[in-house]
Chains A and B, each alone.
Chain A
Amino acid sequence: MSLGARVGAAATAPLRALAAALDPAMRGWQRLAGRGGMIGLFLLPNLAIFTIFVLVPIGLNVAYSMTGGAQVFLADRPFVGGEQYARLLECENHLRPRTCRDDTFWTAVWNTARFVVLQVGLMTGAALVTALILNRSLPAKGFWRAVFFFPVLLSPVVVGLIWRWILQRQGLANLVMVEGGLEPVNWLVDRFWAFAAAVGVSVWAHLGFYALILLAGLQAIPKDLYEAAEMDGTRPWRVFRRITLPLLTPNLAVVVVLALIRAVQIFDEAYVLTGGGPGTATMFLTQYIYETGFASPVRNPGLAAAASILMAGVLVVLTLLRLSRQRRAAQR
């Protein structure tokens, strides 16, 4: 038995024991309710929990977004209609956040958009390079894979803390700069470098996961394709473009979609790392929502809810667009 199968079996052993214990009851239920009843039963626990702890709060969020005040519980909050939305959307020019009534919200919107594009692009590129390199014949393959994967296991708070500790003015990064004969840089206080750090740290933390997905794709490419290419004396760059890249597309698509979802939600690492500064250079949407609704001395849960609804609305529209395009592509 392979190691993977053994761990898999061990991890699922208690699960199967539990399922076995439920077996007689389930048999009775199937006799009673038929196969349709069984489908319902399979879905029930997950959907029930999902409904109570995900769907209901999302629904409540819609209600919150139409109330005002600082009270926590919906029943205590006065109804204000679309006022919170109006406050968020009131702008002379939406591309220039400072002309907006809630300038922080729009700064966060555009920062997040920039972050998503940069982070997903950089990470996909770096993950691809890493996967291509890990796919070569190397001594101690497992070690190298572990090296790149290990940060994935750290909590975002720890990731932010480690890097804040390194990038602060008197940290390791500047020690290296000084030793290398360079001027120390105030990483987290410079608008450019702080944003770069937020992007870079997030790539650092997640790169390994995506590299492994791509590596799996590379390993699934039939070897005889490369053999044929070599017989024809095709140049390596051409091989990469004509064979590797097209066959890797499904994995690349998965990587891009997953990375996009994560990037839009960027919060903990960046929050611990820069706190949204300098100024508002790394203020992202989730931080805006969290601070407005929960952590600020001037709490405004209604405004935060309205912002989250707007954010979710944009995301759902983007997803649906993607899905429908995928479907059309599949039909072709």
Chain B
Amino acid sequence: MRGARFLTRRRGVAGSGRGWHWTDIATWVWLVGGTVLMFGPAVWLVLSSFKTPAALAEFPPTILPYAQQTMEIDGRERPLFTVTTPDGTTQTMAELRRVGIVAQMVDPAAPEAEPLRVNIAEREPLREIAFATSNYTEPFLRFDFWRFFRNSVFVTVVATALTLLTNSMAAFALSKYDFRGRNAVMLLIIATLMVPLSVILVPLYSVVSAVGLLDTLWGVILPTIATPTGVFLLRQYMLTIPDELLEAARMDHASEWQIYWRIVLPLAAPALAVLAIFSVVWRWNDFLWPLVVLTSTRNYTLQIGLNSYAGELNVQWHYILAMTVAAIVPVVLVFVFLQRFITSGIASAGLK
């Protein structure tokens, strides 16, 4: 226990435990700075996703989403401004029309009065906080959001289940049996760890096309499930399971398949759970490969469906930002619920 304290307590002046040693300050600087750096961007994304297109284009940007206030005069919505009058006072006025750099403005309290001619340099828009929720509602109304969501769930669940099954079987064979060619198989798997998908896109496409899986969800699922990472991770973990357990079971006439699912699978549960979580996150986030394989909208996954706001000539940032937020919400929810397990699980189970 004293050792733990030695490591972790505030060091303080001359190790007395009182006062602040530089390492304490460094720790808190790192933690607080880290929090700002890690969370800040996400918060900024969420806030930006509620801005109108005009507000998104402005610099300096505001932290919160603002929109110009308007007021109805003569049956039309007129924008409100704070005007600096020639005598130096400021006044709230509504704009009737603007020609060049001169605007005709009236006092909203007395709209019938003669309009005042104001140089546009002498006024500031009057604004209030407003969340442009239409960035979210408009795409959702236009899309078959529910279908995209179902497709994404299907891909994620089926791919994860198959990944766990095939990878754990292979890892079991590679860790618990001695057979000729085992090292060759292992080496092959490790070597392909290094080949990213984007590099074999064209040949992989022609393979998937040849087996008739283009534009199907299975065409998205199958190429992803034989992950070398999964086999590698599970094998490393299964190597730590003592062989005596297996031998004892064989004495009791257990079949090899039973040894696999009754003994090894439960013991490897922590590693399987980590692989499951990563597989869910990977498959949920997959973008490039589904984009290549899926051609009709009814088969689109969420990530692909939400991407359709990138035009040829213009990018509709307000929709893109909102849809980005919508796509990461499920992942964040999973994380909030399983946070403690995910972080401790990776640390303890992932790499022994």
Contacts and interface: CB of A to CB of B under 8 A. Distances in A.
Chain A–chain B contact at Cβ < 8 A: yes
Interface of A: 3-5, 7-9, 11-12, 14-16, 18-20, 22-23, 26-27, 30, 35-36, 38-39, 41-43, 45-47, 49-50, 52-58, 60-61, 64, 72-74, 129-130, 133, 135-138, 142, 144-151, 153-158, 161-163, 165-166, 169-172, 174-175, 178, 204, 208-209, 212-213, 215-216, 219, 223-227, 230, 236, 251, 254, 261, 264-265, 267-268, 286, 289-290, 293-294, 301, 304-305, 308, 311-312, 315-316, 319
A47 to B, nearest CB: 7
B287 interface: yes
A213 B61 contact: no
A135 B44 contact: no
A174 B60 CA distance: 8
Given A27-B257, A57-B204, A204-B37, A4 B345 contact: yes
A254 B231 CA distance: 16
B172 interface: yes
Contacts of A5: 269-270
A216 B344 CA distance: 8
A-B pairs with lowest CB-CB distance, top 10: A155-B285, A8-B269, A26-B257, A19-B261, A170-B59, A137-B8, A60-B203, A46-B170, A42-B173, A216-B347
B48 interface: yes
Contacts of B341: 3-4, 7
Contacts of A212: 343, 346-347, 350
The prevalent SS among residues of A at the interface is helix
Interface residues of B, number: 117
Interface stretch (B28-36, B71-79, B109-117, B148-156): B28-36
A53 B173 contact: no
A264 B140 CA distance: 38
Contact of B196 (A4, A73, A169, A265): A265
A199 B79 CA distance: 45
A45 B257 contact: no
Given A50-B189, A61-B203, A286-B196, A136 B285 contact: no
Interface in B207-264: 207-209, 211, 222-223, 225-226, 228, 231, 255-258, 260-261
B312 interface: no
Contacts of B6: 226-227, 230
B202 A144 contact: no
B338 A7 contact: yes
Contacts of B146: none
A130 B276 contact: no
B8 A136 contact: yes
Contact of A304 (B39, B164, B202, B339): B202
B44 A137 contact: no
A23 B257 contact: yes
A142 B339 contact: yes
A138 B31 CA distance: 10
A136 B27 contact: yes
B170 A43 contact: yes
Contacts of A215: 347
Contacts of B261: 16, 19-20, 23
Interface in B267-326: 269-270, 272-273, 276-277, 281, 284-288, 303, 317, 320-321, 324
B275 to A, nearest CB: 9
A149 B342 contact: yes
27 contacts: A8-B269, A15-B165, A15-B272, A19-B261, A38-B256, A42-B169, A42-B260, A57-B203, A58-B192, A133-B30, A135-B8, A136-B7, A142-B343, A147-B38, A155-B328, A156-B285, A161-B324, A170-B58, A170-B59, A170-B60, A204-B38, A212-B350, A215-B347, A216-B351, A286-B199, A294-B202, A315-B194
Contacts of A7: 273, 338, 341, 345
Contact of B343 (A129, A133, A149): A149
B340 interface: yes
A174 B231 CA distance: 45
B121 interface: no
Contacts of A308: 195, 199-200
Given A54-B192, A267-B196, A35 B272 contact: no
Contacts of A144: 31, 34-35
